[in-house]
Every structure is written in C-alpha cells, then in structure tokens.
C-alpha cells in the first residue's frame, strides 16, 4: 500500500487520457469523474480502472474523440448517443442535458446508448445539487448478477444514485449497487483469504456459497436481499428497472448482452443495442415548492434521522453520503492509498506510454 496525493493522481490520469487522444476538456472531466471515486472511497471505480479503459481504447471499443450528441428529444426527455466515447465523458454531457431540460420544464430525463463504464454513479447525480435540483443517475453494467432463481448472470451491479440538496446540512447522496455487496468488496476478501457473509454470492451451480472466489469461478453476485426469503426478488427487480431505463429506453445493450468491461472478453455476437446504457434525471425542487422551504425541511429530515437513538454498539445513524463525504475531506488532505497491484499496474501503464507514474 502506497499513498499518493490527489494532485499526483490527477496529473497522471489527465496525461494518460491525453495520450490516448482525448481532447483537453474531455480529459479534464474524465479525470475529475475517475478521481472522485478514489476520494470518496469507491476504490474499485477510480484510477484502479484506468488501465482497463486504456485497454478498451486499444481494442477499438472506446472512441477517444466521440461526437456525443442528442439523437432524439422532447421538452422533458432526450436520448444521447455516446458514439462509443468514455462513459466518464458521455455521462456528464447527458446529465447537463437533463439539467437544461429541468430549467425549462421542471424536470429532465435522459437515456443514453453507445456508452461505456461511467465511473461512480454519484458523481453525475451530484451535478444537479448546485442548481437546487434532485439528481438521479443509473447505469447498467457487465452481467455478473444472477436474478432470483437464475443460475445465469443476466444483470450488472446496476447502481442507483440519488442526490438531494439541503440547506445548512450537507446533501443526501445515496449511491449503491443493487446487489448485496459490490464486486470490489469481494476482491478485498479474496486478497485477505477471507470468506464472504451469506447472501453475497452463488457458485457456478447456482448454490449459495461464502467463497470470495465464487464469482471468479463462474458463479454470480446476488441481488440485494441475497435469497428469496430475504427479499432478493426486490434487489433483482431494482437491477432490472435500472437495466430497462438505461438500455431498453435508449437502444443500448441490456441484460446478458451488455459488453464486458474487461478488454480480454469480447462482446456477445448478435448484440441487441449499442454499447452500454445510462439513465439520468434532474428535478428542480422549486418545480414542486419554493426551494428554500424544501431545503429547510431537508435539514429537518436529516437532523431528525441523524439524532435518532441508536442500536447497541453503534454511535449514530448515518445519512446516505456521510461516509463518502467524510473520507473525501481526509483523502484530499492526507492522500489516496493505492494497493500494490494497482501501483504496479499504473506504473506499467505509464511506462508503455512514456508517462512517469
């Protein structure tokens, strides 16, 4: 484990994105999105993925100079065609379209096709906050999750993020995979040689397992809930809704057809759409009630929940977004720790392109 400053990682990421041909503005926003994951503690979605994006570019599956554009629209909706661009660039473009529509008619809803992995869902949802809007961000992803009763992997970890502004309190920011646990948590347990709790994974025969290698060995992640008795059909339904909003609405690939993020796996033949899909929403809070009134009540909501009496052994009830925001402050000051394999990977990546890590 080594620690790097935010500026070091930003500089390296920006330079690498420029090396593969991204225009300045795209490299800047892409870097910002990627690094926000490292700052907020979603280590699996930050610079650790940089070489993955580069390998997809090398395979011709990511277009570094895309013509990202609105391909269809109504006053409150749009479809954005990402032209195989970096999701890190396509997603902020689409979220801006949603925000502009919300300015005009109260809300804006944008479904995106022909994109790639877009980093952390929360970044895009949070773009709405400075406009006194609620932001919503969904994406589908490579199939790693088995619906309830399915042996096959048919869904991605399909996250849901919702960001809601408050007044004096920090915003409410939920950002969660629709699985019991994200894949990044499995990787941590693998490295430590530990088992998973029940309800996280099934093996390749569709049987529950606590092996942290269960997914790597051909099994699947389980939807939030874990099994039927604990509500996995609800996690499955949520992941399905994310998939449909992101891809069936836009014309992207859905379900098992979502192209894998890893460059060594090829997309399936006979794709049903273009690239991967996202879905964004922006709602002006003053399209419902005066913004100041709304935000004061959000403060009251947050204060009431944060001050609730706790269960034994727990210090306080958290508001969604609290842990990530606290970590962001710490990491901005003290640096971002990267695991040795990540450091090695980035060093090798830099060497290949003549960039010092």
Q: Which of residues 171-200 bind its own copies (CB under 8 A)?
A: 172, 174, 176-181, 197-199
**Does residue 206 belong to the site contacting its own copies (CB under 8 A)?**
yes
Q: Kindly indicate which of the ranges 33-41, 59-67, 298-306, 340-348 contains the residues binding its own copies, using the contact rule CB under 8 A.
A: 298-306
CA distances from 132 to 123, 251, 267, 322 (A): 16, 30, 40, 19
Q: Is 157 in the site for its own copies (CB under 8 A)?
A: no
Q: What gap in Å lies between CA 268 and CA 347, rounded to an integer?
A: 32
For 43, list phi and psi in degrees, rounded to 5.
Answer: -60, -30
Long-range contacts of 329-333 (CB under 8 A, 24+ apart): 331/6, 331/38, 331/39, 331/41, 332/6, 332/39
| Rg for the chain, CA atoms, rounded | 20
Q: Which stretch binds its own copies (CB under 8 A): 24-32, 36-44, 84-92, 297-305?
A: 297-305
E-state strands within 46-87: 69-74, 77-81
Question: Which DSSP letter does residue 311 get?
Answer: P
Q: Indicate whether 303 belongs to the interface with its own copies (CB under 8 A).
A: no
DSSP one-letter code for 248: I
CB of 199 to its own copies, least distance (A): 5
Least distance CB 202 / its own copies (angstroms): 7
Residue 13 vs 77, nearer CB to its own copies: 77
Q: Least separation, in Å, of the C-beta of 241 and its own copies?
A: 5
Nearer to its own copies, 15 or 296 (CB): 296
Cα–Cα distance for residue pair 65/112, rounded to 1 Å: 17
**Binder among 2, 65, 207, 347 for its own copies (CB under 8 A):** 207
Contacts (CB under 8 A) with its own copies, residues 124-153: 134, 146-152
Member of 96, 167, 234, 325 binding its own copies (CB under 8 A) = 234
Query: Site for its own copies (CB under 8 A): which residue of 251, 260, 275, 350?
Result: 251
- Smallest gap from Cβ 276 to its own copies, in A, equals 15
Taking CB under 8 A as the criterion, the residue among 3, 8, 67, 300 binding its own copies is 300
- Least gap, CB of 248 to its own copies (angstroms): 5
- State the pairing for strand pair 107-115/77-81: parallel
- Distance of alpha carbon 56 from alpha carbon 262, whole angstroms: 7
Give CA–CA dist 57/48, Å, rounded: 16
Out of 3, 67, 74, 168, which residue is the one contacting its own copies (CB under 8 A)? 74
CB under 8 A: which stretch of 13-21, 53-61, 233-241, 344-352 binds its own copies? Answer: 233-241
Give helix 50-58 / helix 6-19 axis angle, nearest 10°: 0
Q: From the CB of 334, what's the least distance to its own copies, in Å?
A: 25
Residues 6+ apart with CB under 8 A from 207: none
Q: Which of residues 88-107 bind its own copies (CB under 8 A)?
A: 104-107
Separation CA 254–CA 355 (nearest Å) = 37
User: What is the Cα–Cα distance from 235 to 179, expressed in whole angstroms?
Assistant: 6
Under rule CB under 8 A, which residues in 256-295 are in contact with its own copies? 256, 272-273, 283-285, 287-289, 293-294
Nearer to its own copies, 31 or 107 (CB): 107
Please say which residue, 6 or 305, places its beta carbon nearer to its own copies: 305
């Amino acid at each position: 484990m080594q620690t790097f400053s935010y500026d070091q990682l930003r500089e390296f990421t920006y330079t690498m994105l420029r090396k593969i041909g991204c225009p300045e503005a795209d490299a800047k926003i892409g870097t910002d999105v990627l690094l926000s994951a490292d700052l907020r503690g979603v280590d699996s979605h930050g610079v650790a993925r940089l070489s993955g994006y580069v390998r997809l570019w090398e395979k011709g599956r990511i277009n570094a100079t895309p013509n990202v554009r609105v391909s269809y629209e109504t006053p409150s909706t749009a479809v954005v065609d990402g032209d195989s661009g970096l999701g890190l660039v396509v997603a902020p473009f689409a979220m801006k379209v949603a925000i502009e529509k919300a300015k005009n008619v109260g809300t804006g809803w944008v479904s995106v096709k022909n994109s790639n992995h877009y980093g952390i869902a929360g970044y895009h949802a949070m773009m709405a906050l400075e406009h006194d809007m609620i932001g919503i961000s969904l994406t589908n992803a490579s199939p790693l999750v088995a619906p309830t009763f399915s042996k096959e992997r048919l869904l991605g970890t399909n996250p849901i993020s919702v960001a809601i502004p408050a007044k004096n309190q920090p915003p409410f920011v939920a950002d969660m995979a629709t699985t019991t646990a994200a894949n990044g948590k499995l990787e941590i347990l693998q490295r430590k040689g530990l088992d998973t709790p029940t309800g996280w994974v099934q093996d390749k025969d569709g049987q529950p397992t606590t092996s942290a290698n269960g997914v790597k060995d051909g099994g699947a992640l389980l939807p939030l809930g874990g099994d039927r008795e604990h509500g996995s059909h609800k996690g499955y339904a949520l992941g399905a809704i994310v998939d449909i909003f992101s891809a069936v609405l836009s014309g992207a690939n859905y379900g098992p057809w979502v192209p894998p993020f890893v460059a060594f796996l090829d997309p399936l033949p006979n794709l049903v759409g273009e690239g991967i899909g996202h879905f964004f929403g922006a709602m002006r809070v003053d399209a419902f009630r005066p913004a100041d009134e709304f935000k004061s009540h959000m403060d009251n909501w947050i204060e009431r929940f944060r001050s609730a009496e706790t269960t034994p052994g727990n210090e306080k009830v958290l508001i969604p977004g609290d842990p990530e925001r606290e970590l962001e402050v710490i990491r901005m000051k003290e640096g971002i720790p990267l695991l040795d394999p990540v450091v090695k990977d980035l060093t090798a990546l830099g060497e290949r392109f003549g960039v010092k890590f």
